[in-house]
Structure 1
Amino acid sequence: MKFYSAFSLLSLAVSALANHVIIADESNFDDIVLNSDKTSFVKFYADWCSH
């Protein structure tokens, strides 16, 4: 139950921050994600994937 509560809170926090989405590609991924002092939540997406 604790895991479910923590997961729910995390999901709410992520969705609340959804308006701060930055699209990273191969030209800016290192600067945005790897070389940044900010925490990043990365979602990898492919158009051909049905998930």
Structure 2
Amino acid sequence: MELRELNLGLVEDGLLPEPGQIRALLAQLDALQDLVQGVKKKPNPNAPKRSL
């Protein structure tokens, strides 16, 4: 019962992030982890090519 009350209080106060915000944050953290570890990913074939 206490957890339910805690959850309701957080929702009412607007302190819980939206699911999309959580997914975006996790994607950013994954990218940062790859950068720190030196993981190179294949380029996205659908991404526009950058010209100099």
TM-score by length of 1: 0.39
**Which structure features the higher share of helix residues?**
2
TM-score, normalization by structure 2:
0.39
